[in-house]
């Protein structure tokens, strides 16, 4: 009996220990499980961003929220950031800013509600303003419905810039000299002959013009007094551009992939003899020439760079190389980039970043090696870095055996098996590519429990001319296969749950989403199309006038609508004409002012799917263009996106949202029963 009692006691203790162990394990799981991170960490305004040193290093400018929008602020370098003054009160996020070479002005560009009608503005960084006000900014190009482009910012005369304006002819840009202090514009070159490039040497003398004909061929000319002499020519399937000059201005650095060159290569052309010398191409023979960095002080090359999975630098300036290696030693496992420099190149702002790290920006003194943290753009994200996921390089074969590179991100805490997956397709399509590093979209989706594949499909840039041109006339065909075979790769590796794969992307990525649902209707569980074209005919009819020089380039990609064969290709590749095959839920997101992929592209597919009783939802922002830039719109868009994905794929989503985001989501959510589309040519 005693023995029986002891056995029962032992069993009770054993069961109790199991219970305690299970409770502890459960508590540990709850404590260590990846939390749902607030979407504002990814898509809200950063606290500070875009820092730049003044030319003399005595001041620092940066972007910070002012009335809900990122605006330009300035402070003395040795002052705390809390003492900074706002310089602008733009209601629209800016597209960039910089200091004039003498530090008298800060210049910036912006459009109206995403219409890409860009003007150039100037503000005095030393100007004062009334309390709760900002200094007055001057519009230096006060013209309506134009797109101003900055060609050159003078160092010889810091009050001057060379700008391009399409005020006379919407399709072509004339060259103007712009006096910053007065806004005076002086026409330098009236472009009546399809000029697409103006290149100035170190002494700011106009030396080279490029012209592109109706077939897409580009001829480069050197300027000899009043005459132009041809020196180089490329076809529509080749590329060449000037990227710098030797210190004496006698020779120009060209980057070209002409003729037998597959990987773009750095060349040197003697403009007197026209002799061309190869300087270098990728030492690993894998990718295109990336970039040439030169010193404004010595006019000599600092470094060249190439981007494969990551970027590699080859240094020619020992001082810059020493600084780079010193900084690398301070931040092992991170990438770094020189973000800003004083005129004497002795003081720098350096950005430190990585795939699963919140960026940091440091001040670095080249001479003393002093290193001071200036700011962390997203400090709240910094506090949860342990929940950010690593991005890994992958590759797989497409339907025709072509090797497709890309990046794969697996959620933190996952074993990487049988996961719901988002195929995230980049825009372009010809030329752009996805790169390694922190990506807010990717981290947001991974945090919600999805594996994310970013395929650099054929036509993506950086992998050589053959890879780039392999996408020509392959919209919806081999280019789409590159994405489809990415899904098959993930399924074969056991990473993807074949029933829980979604496709998502913006611009061409939006097109690929529509094409994926229309041409491979069983492959995806759903799709999110962000400003994607549905009808290539209407896309080509509505491109901005100032893209006229690239029309042959577009036709080479998708087909010429003026030919029978071209029409056939375009109709086959346009998802709109296969909308009856779409059987999975679709979320469409569009900016009403988009000049590239107009609202009609989304309206058409919404109407077609609605009338066929398909499941389609539609967000339309009246104050956005080609993609959303205002934080409240971004937050609303991603709130709806994550809910949409969670309901279909079973991922997690953040249910709550700030009141202003909820209101905005209601405002941009379209009642699809009221969407109409009237074709121009019935």
pLDDT of amino acid 27: 34
Tell me the pLDDT tens digit for each residue of 529-583.
999 999 999 999 999 999 999 999 999 999 999 999 999 999 999 999 999 999 9
Residue 196 to residue 43: CA distance in whole angstroms: 36
Question: Which residue among the candidates 264, 341, 398, 507 is catalytic per the annotation?
Answer: 507
Confidence of residue 473 (pLDDT cuts 50, 70, 90): very high
Rg (Cα) of the chain, in Å, rounded?
Answer: 27
Residue 93 to residue 49: CA distance in whole angstroms: 13
Confidence of residue 26 (pLDDT cuts 50, 70, 90): very low
Residue 668 to residue 621: CA distance in whole angstroms: 5
Residue 420 token pair: 């719901």
Residue 324 to residue 602: CA distance in whole angstroms: 47
Burial 322-347 (b: 16+ CB within 10 A, else e): ebbeebeeebeebbbebbbbbbebeb
pLDDT of amino acid 17: 37
**Whether the Cβ atoms of residue 55 and residue 342 lie closer than 8 Å to each other:** yes
CATH superfamily of 389-673: Alpha/Beta hydrolase fold, catalytic domain (3.40.50.1820)
| pLDDT exceeds 90 at position 588 | yes
Tell me the pLDDT tens digit for each residue of 181-220.
999 999 999 999 999 999 999 999 999 999 999 999 999 9
pLDDT of amino acid 681: 65
Residue 4 to residue 238: CA distance in whole angstroms: 89
Q: What is the mean pLDDT of the segment spanning 422-445?
A: 97
Helix H or strand E segment including 209: strand 206-212
- Before 523, cis peptide (omega within 30)? no
| pLDDT exceeds 90 at position 2 | no
pTM for the model: 0.94
Sheet holding 185-189: strands in order across? 149-153, 160-169, 172-179, 185-189
The alpha carbon dihedral of 14, 20, 21, 26 has a sign of: positive
Tell me the pLDDT tens digit for each residue of 215-265.
999 999 999 999 999 999 999 999 999 999 999 999 999 999 999 999 999
Angle at 655 between CA 654 and CA 656, to 5 degrees: 100
- For 163, the 3-state DSSP assignment is strand
CA distances from residue 396 to 393, 462, 493 in whole angstroms, order as listed: 11, 17, 11
CA distances from residue 311 to 69, 282, 288, 502 in whole angstroms, order as listed: 32, 11, 12, 30
Question: Which residue among the candidates 434, 594, 603, 623 is catalytic per the annotation?
Answer: 594
pLDDT of amino acid 96: 87
Q: Is 429 left (phi over 0), alpha (psi -120 to 50) or beta?
A: alpha
What are the backbone angles phi and psi of residue 382, rounded to the nearest 5°? -60, -35
Residue 485 token pair: 């075979």
| pLDDT exceeds 80 at position 105 | yes
Residue 628 half-sphere exposure, CB side, CA atoms within 13 Å? 25
Residue 587 token pair: 């979320």
Q: What is residue 622's DSSP assignment? A: T
Percent of the chain with pLDDT over 90: 93
pLDDT of amino acid 13: 38
Residue boundaries of the structural domains of the chain: 193-316, 389-673
Residue 454 to residue 435: CA distance in whole angstroms: 9
pLDDT of amino acid 94: 87
**Whether the Cβ atoms of residue 150 and residue 165 lie closer than 8 Å to each other:** no
Residue 602 token pair: 């989304």
The DSSP string of 592-614 is TT-SSS-HHHHHHHHHHHHHTT-
**Whether the Cβ atoms of residue 483 and residue 516 lie closer than 8 Å to each other:** yes
Residue 321 token pair: 């190389």
335-341 vs 347-354, strand pairing mode:
antiparallel
Pick from 535, 639, 528: nearest CA to 590: 528
Residue 665 to residue 191: CA distance in whole angstroms: 45
| pLDDT exceeds 80 at position 15 | no
Q: What is residue 216's DSSP assignment? A: S
Q: What is the mean pLDDT of the segment spanning 89-101?
A: 93
The alpha carbon dihedral of 486, 488, 489, 495 has a sign of: positive
**Whether the Cβ atoms of residue 624 and residue 633 lie closer than 8 Å to each other:** yes
Q: What is the mean pLDDT of the segment spanning 337-344?
A: 97
| pLDDT exceeds 80 at position 400 | yes
pLDDT of amino acid 607: 98
Percent of the chain with pLDDT over 70: 95
| pLDDT exceeds 70 at position 610 | yes
Is 341 one of the annotated active-site residues of the chain? no
Tell me the pLDDT tens digit for each residue of 385-396.
999 999 999 999
- Bridge partners for 123 per DSSP: 106
Token pair 């379209």 is at which residue? 670
Helix H or strand E segment including 274: none
pLDDT of amino acid 679: 87
- Before 629, cis peptide (omega within 30)? no
Angle at 349 between CA 160 and CA 336, to 5 degrees: 120
Is 626 one of the annotated active-site residues of the chain? yes
Is 594 one of the annotated active-site residues of the chain? yes
Pick from 626, 624, 616, 609: nearest CA to 677: 609
Q: What is the mean pLDDT of the segment spanning 282-305?
A: 98
Sheet holding 276-280: strands in order across? 240-245, 251-256, 265-270, 276-280
- Bridge partners for 177 per DSSP: 162, 186
CA distances from residue 59 to 53, 63, 78 in whole angstroms, order as listed: 6, 14, 8
Provide the mean pLDDT of the chain.
94
The alpha carbon dihedral of 669, 675, 679, 680 has a sign of: negative
CA distances from residue 533 to 178, 508, 560 in whole angstroms, order as listed: 37, 7, 17
Q: What is residue 388's DSSP assignment? A: P
The alpha carbon dihedral of 183, 188, 192, 193 has a sign of: negative
- Bridge partners for 337 per DSSP: 351
CB count, 10 Å around CB of 547? 13
């Amino acid at each position: 009996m005693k023995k029986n009692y002891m056995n029962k006691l032992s069993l009770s203790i054993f069961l109790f220990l199991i219970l305690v162990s299970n409770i502890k394990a459960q508590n540990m799981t709850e404590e260590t499980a990846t939390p749902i991170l607030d979407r504002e960490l990814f898509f809200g305004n950063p606290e500070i961003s875009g820092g730049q040193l003044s030319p003399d290093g005595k001041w620092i400018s940066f972007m910070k929220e002012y009335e809900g929008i990122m605006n330009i602020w300035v402070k003395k370098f040795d002052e705390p950031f809390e003492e900074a003054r706002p310089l602008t009160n733009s209601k629209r996020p800016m597209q960039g800013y910089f200091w004039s070479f003498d530090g008298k002005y800060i210049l910036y560009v912006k459009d109206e509600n995403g219409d890409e009608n860009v003007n150039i503005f100037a503000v005095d960084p030393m100007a004062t303003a009334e309390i709760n006000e900002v200094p007055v900014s001057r519009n230096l190009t006060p013209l309506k419905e134009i797109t101003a482009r900055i060609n050159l910012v003078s160092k010889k005369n810091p009050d001057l810039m060379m700008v391009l304006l399409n005020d006379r002819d919407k399709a072509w840009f004339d060259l103007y000299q712009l006096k910053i202090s007065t806004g005076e514009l002086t026409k330098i070159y009236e472009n009546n002959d399809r000029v697409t490039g103006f290149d100035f040497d170190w002494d700011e003398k106009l030396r080279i013009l490029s012209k592109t004909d109706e077939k897409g061929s580009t001829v480069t000319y050197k300027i000899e007094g009043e005459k132009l002499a041809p020196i180089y020519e490329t076809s529509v399937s080749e590329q060449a551009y000037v990227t710098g000059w030797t210190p004496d201005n006698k020779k120009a650095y060209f980057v070209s992939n002409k003729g037998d060159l597959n990987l773009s290569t750095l060349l040197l052309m003697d403009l007197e003899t026209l002799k061309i010398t190869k300087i270098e191409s990728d030492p690993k023979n894998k990718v295109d020439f990336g970039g040439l960095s030169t010193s404004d002080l010595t006019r000599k090359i600092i470094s060249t760079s190439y981007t494969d999975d990551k970027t590699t630098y080859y240094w020619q300036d020992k001082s810059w190389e020493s600084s780079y290696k010193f900084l690398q030693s301070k931040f092992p496992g991170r990438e770094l980039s020189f973000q800003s420099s004083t005129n004497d190149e002795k003081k720098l702002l350096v950005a430190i970043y990585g795939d699963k790290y919140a960026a940091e920006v440091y001040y670095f003194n080249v001479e003393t090696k002093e290193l001071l943290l200036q700011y962390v753009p997203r400090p709240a994200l910094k506090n949860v870095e342990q929940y950010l996921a690593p991005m890994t390089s992958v590759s797989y074969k497409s339907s025709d055996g072509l090797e497709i590179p890309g990046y794969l991100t697996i959620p933190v805490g996952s074993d990487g098996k049988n996961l719901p997956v988002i195929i995230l397709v980049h825009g372009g399509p010809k030329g752009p590519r996805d790169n390694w590093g922190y990506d807010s979209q990717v981290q947001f989706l991974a945090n919600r429990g999805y594996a994310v594949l970013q395929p650099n499909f054929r036509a993506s840039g950086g992998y050589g001319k053959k890879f780039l041109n392999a996408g020509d006339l392959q919209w919806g065909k081999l280019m789409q296969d590159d994405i489809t075979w990415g899904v098959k790769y993930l399924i074969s590796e056991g990473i993807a749950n074949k029933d829980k794969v979604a496709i998502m992307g913006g611009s061409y990525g939006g097109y690929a989403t529509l094409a994926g649902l229309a041409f491979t209707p069983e492959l995806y569980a759903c799709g999110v199309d962000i400003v994607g074209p549905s009808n290539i005919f209407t896309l080509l009819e509505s491109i901005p006038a100032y893209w006229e020089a690239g029309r042959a380039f577009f036709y080479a990609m998708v087909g010429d609508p003026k030919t029978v064969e071209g029409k056939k290709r375009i109709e086959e590749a346009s998802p709109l004409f296969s909308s009856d095959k779409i059987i999975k839920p679709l979320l469409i997101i569009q900016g009403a002012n988009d000049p590239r992929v107009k609202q009609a592209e989304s309206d058409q597919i919404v109407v077609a799917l609605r009338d066929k009783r398909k499941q389609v939802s539609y967000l339309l922002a009246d104050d956005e263009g080609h993609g959303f830039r205002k934080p409240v719109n971004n937050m609303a868009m991603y709130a709806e996106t994550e809910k949409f994905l969670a309901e279909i794929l079973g991922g997690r989503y953040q249910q709550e949202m700030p009141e202003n985001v909820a209101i905005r989501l209601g405002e941009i959510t379209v009642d699809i029963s009221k969407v109409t589309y009237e074709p121009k040519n019935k």
